[in-house]
Amino acid sequence: MIRGKTIAFLVAPEGVEQVELTEPWKAIKQAGGTPKLISTGSGRIRAFNHLDRGDTFAVDGTVGDVSVADFDGLVLPGGVANPDFLRMVPEAVRFVGDFFEAGKPVAAICHAPWTLIEADVVRDRMVTSWPSLQTDLRNAGANWVDREIVVCTAGLNVLVTSRKPDDLKAFCQGAIDAFSQ
């Protein structure tokens, strides 16, 4: 259980894979945690179901207005456009890196490790991702493996990664376990 813990979900204004946002969000709430949607701007974000427009969700805070000290962990949902946008926003990249420096757990799924690469936090870490990112991750110094879930404790924090929506059950449980420590 993670009762009393607040978990940041960092997403771009549009392009996050909806199920990779909503399923971990539900898991955090069911485990007693408080999820908060953080983005690069205020208002609402637009999720996608692969390439089709999905629902919109209200933003709780922006990367410029929140601090890692406000949170106990971070979830980075995927979607191709979502991390590609985030890795071009210095405040978002810094926000991600700050979780690692603070030793707080991070969970990233699918294409989300692109943002981890930009934050330079995957070197010497075992990770998984959507298969097309494996070369990028290896070039950034990560040990990429093709597994449903990887829980890496070889750094200052726990890093949980998964490959795709089919891995969400394991990803959600791995994230809850990491956030409960």
Catalytic residue positions, numbered: 110-111
Tell me how crowded residue 135 is: count the other CB atoms within 10 A of its CB.
Answer: 10
Question: Which residues, listed in sequence order, are joined to residue 10 by a DSSP beta bridge?
Answer: 38
DSSP assignment of 86-105: HTT-HHHHHHHHHHHHTT--
Nearest-angstrom CA–CA distance, 45 and 14 = 5
Nearest-angstrom CA–CA distance, 42 and 40 = 7
Question: Which residues, listed in sequence order, are joined to residue 17 by a DSSP beta bridge?
Answer: 48
Nearest-angstrom CA–CA distance, 71 and 106 = 11
Nearest-angstrom CA–CA distance, 97 and 121 = 7
DSSP letter at 95 equals: H
Nearest-angstrom CA–CA distance, 57 and 38 = 11
